[in-house]
Structure 1
Amino acid sequence: MRNYDNEALDNESRQYRYSVDFHVREFFIQRLFDNGYINKNDKCLEVGSHDGSMTRQLLEIYANVDVLEPAEIFHEKLKSEFGERINLFAGLTYEVDFEKSYDAIFLVHVLEHMENPIEELARLGTWLRNKGKIFVLVPNAHALSRQIAVSMGLINACEAVMPGEAAQGHLRTYSLKQLEQHAEESGLIVLETGGIMTKPLANFQLDSALEKGIISFEYLTALNELSKIDGTMGSSIYLVLSN
């Protein structure tokens, strides 16, 4: 029996959220805007809010957001911070049903936590309205930083799940090939794939370098521009899906 409250916490190996995560999500949202996928009038669902950091970013676009969050430790925080701007639903996808309810479903750093990702994606597809979209973002197994870590002997393989990640509920580390395969097997249509922000350093190293002024936001922006040319070494990889 999984304890989603425990999985949502920092551990001795890694934090759950890093400052650079905010920028990756911002770059992702901007990519979706630039490519014509986001309409502020769409009805939106966020699957997996955690502490509300992504919810906050979505509420800069949408007037209201429905949120599905299994970790009970965050429910009061979410309700207190966002009030009537969110409709909060507790639990997992198989515990609720939103048939044909949404134009936009965000699954940001969540699919790697799901035990049955193909079935989960298929179920989310039934929640889409006509021409609706699912936006999936996951950590990239082949991020440049992970490739360097393999070369240094710090991890055995790019797709490895490290102990700190496993403690936070990561069940796999996606390559773009596996991510596309899971989407296709779910029966959804892949409209677009890509990577966000080429990643030369681990998250904690990027955070430290930003804090100390060694790198700047302009540096991160440049890394993101590189990911538009070749997203295979990005911090995260994404899919835009439809039914």
Structure 2
Amino acid sequence: MLSKRFKYNGKSVLKLNEIQIRIKEQIEKKIEKGIYSFEEVPCCICGGNNFDILAEKDRYGLYTSIVICRNCGLIQANPRMTQKSYNQFYDIEYRKLYVGKEVATEEFFRNQYYKGKRIYHYLENNLRINLSNLRVLEVGVGAGGILYYFKEMGNEICGCDLGSEYIEFGRKKYGLNLFVGTIEDMDIKQTPDIVIYSHVLEHLLNPIDELIKLKSIVGKDSYIYIELPGVKYLTHSYNMDFLRQIQNAHVYYFTLTTLKNVLEKAGYDLICGNEIIQSIFKISSKNNENYKNDYDTTISFLREMEFYRFLPTSYNFKRLIIPGMVSFLKCIGLYNIVKVIYHKLRN
């Protein structure tokens, strides 16, 4: 275990609102009653069972067993909830716990929209192709804000998600082509040029199976964009605190190396990527069963973060100053205006 504070005690490291507290209690009762059940599985990269325990709880204080594979370095939840349990969790509790609101909001959609703009420019800068008149598919679409930006840029879009309330928001308010379910439930007649997995792959129980199924939908010229919270980007995120990154919805916690291991095993090649993680893949001519062990560098990095998160680094200085600035802007009624300007300048 990384330290004593990662032991299960039911306490959240985040300040939860009334909705989040109620939803957390609801999840705990379902676990206690066996409505949400768990399973132990071998590592999806190497098939091994040689794990070190890193944590026993998530940021909300829910019991979550997080381990790291000594053979390949992949961080994962084990034991984890079953697919049946996760399906119910995503439809009923996930967004309410994560966002702290009962239903999809315009703010949530707008944040997705800005993320879509960033993804668009990342693809544009790295692929050097015309990103219009393309077919764009997003898996785990939420309310559809990311796709809405791609639609505005002249692309044909469609997406799927397990959260029915959020899908309905995007459908009704923005007329987006969204479906409740997975890619297996969709009737995709034309090959997508771009497939987006934005903060999705870490939620999948069997990412390799998902990516193999995807190969029946995409073509050799299709690009797969994968974005997720990178473990080795903690130096600039989550207050440099791995515990704040852990949530019961995440089955896996990737570095660029372990993500590359997963994609290569499924039959994809890395085009470009970073530790944030933002990455682009294409179908490979062969599956690569070989993998690089990232255990030593990952465990060393996490231990360093436990030490450095208390030191006066530039990131720690910013995270102490920014909340005060946000509170001040809200008090004088300028927060929303400054937020819009910030996103425009950033992108």
**Secondary structure of 1:217's aligned partner:** helix
Please state if 1:30 is matched with 2:155.
no
Counterpart residue identity of residue 31, structure 1 = Y
- In the alignment, is the contact (CA less than 8 A) between 2:230 and 2:256 conserved in 1? yes
- In the alignment, is the contact (CA less than 8 A) between 1:20 and 1:207 conserved in 2? no
Normalised TM-score (structure 2):
0.49
Please state if 1:119 is matched with 2:200.
no
Please state if 1:9 is matched with 2:95.
yes
**Secondary structure of 2:193's aligned partner:** strand
Counterpart residue identity of residue 5, structure 1 = D
Q: 1:78 aligns with which of 162, 166, 170?
A: 170
> Residues 204, 106 of structure 1: CA spacing in aligned structure 2 closer, same or farther, 3 A cutoff?
farther
**Secondary structure of 1:128's aligned partner:** coil
Q: What residue is the counterpart of 2:342 in the other structure?
A: 217
- In the alignment, is the contact (CA less than 8 A) between 2:112 and 2:145 conserved in 1? no
Larger of the two Rg values belongs to structure: 2
Q: What residue ranges of structure 2 are gaps of 5+ in the alignment? A: 1-84, 102-107, 278-313, 330-334
Q: Distance in 2 between matches of 1:203 and 1:100?
A: 45
**Secondary structure of 1:192's aligned partner:** strand
Shift of 1:137: 0.7
Shift of 1:96: 3.7
Q: Aligned-residue CA RMSD in angstroms?
A: 3.9
Q: What residue is the counterpart of 1:51 in the other structure?
A: 143
Q: What residue is the counterpart of 1:42 in the other structure?
A: 134
Q: Distance in 2 between matches of 1:14 and 1:80?
A: 20
- In the alignment, is the contact (CA less than 8 A) between 1:50 and 1:71 conserved in 2? yes
Q: What residue is the counterpart of 2:159 in the other structure?
A: 67
1:134-186 CA-partner distances (Å, limit 9, x unpaired): 11111111121358634xxxx46xxx852xx21xx221221111111111111
Report sequence identity in percent.
20
> Residues 41, 178 of structure 1: CA spacing in aligned structure 2 closer, same or farther, 3 A cutoff?
same
Q: Which range moves more in the overlay, 70-79 or 31-40?
A: 31-40
- In the alignment, is the contact (CA less than 8 A) between 1:47 and 1:110 conserved in 2? yes
**Secondary structure of 1:102's aligned partner:** coil
Q: What residue ranges of structure 1 are gaps of 5+ in the alignment? A: 225-243
> Residues 72, 44 of structure 1: CA spacing in aligned structure 2 closer, same or farther, 3 A cutoff?
same
> Residues 61, 140 of structure 1: CA spacing in aligned structure 2 closer, same or farther, 3 A cutoff?
same
**Secondary structure of 2:226's aligned partner:** strand
1:73-102 CA-partner distances (Å, limit 9, x unpaired): 12321211232xx33222123334537621
Q: Map of 1:116-195 to 2, 5 A cutoff?
A: 116-143=206-233, 144-146=235-237, 149-150=240-241, 155=242, 162=246, 165-166=247-248, 169-195=249-275
For CA contacts below 8 A with separation 6 or more, give which structure has more relative contact order.
1
Counterpart residue identity of residue 217, structure 1 = Y
- In the alignment, is the contact (CA less than 8 A) between 2:161 and 2:180 conserved in 1? yes
- In the alignment, is the contact (CA less than 8 A) between 2:194 and 2:222 conserved in 1? yes
Q: Distance in 2 between matches of 1:62 and 1:15?
A: 33
Q: Distance in 2 between matches of 1:106 and 1:177?
A: 20
Q: Distance in 2 between matches of 1:127 and 1:205?
A: 47
Counterpart residue identity of residue 182, structure 1 = V
Q: Distance in 2 between matches of 1:210 and 1:23?
A: 19
Normalised TM-score (structure 1):
0.68
1:114-141 CA-partner distances (Å, limit 9, x unpaired): 1111111122222113411111111111
Q: Distance in 2 between matches of 1:194 and 1:132?
A: 20
Counterpart residue identity of residue 145, structure 1 = H
Q: What residue is the counterpart of 2:31 in the other structure?
A: none
> Residues 138, 149 of structure 1: CA spacing in aligned structure 2 closer, same or farther, 3 A cutoff?
same
**Secondary structure of 2:219's aligned partner:** strand
Q: Distance in 2 between matches of 1:200 and 1:90?
A: 39
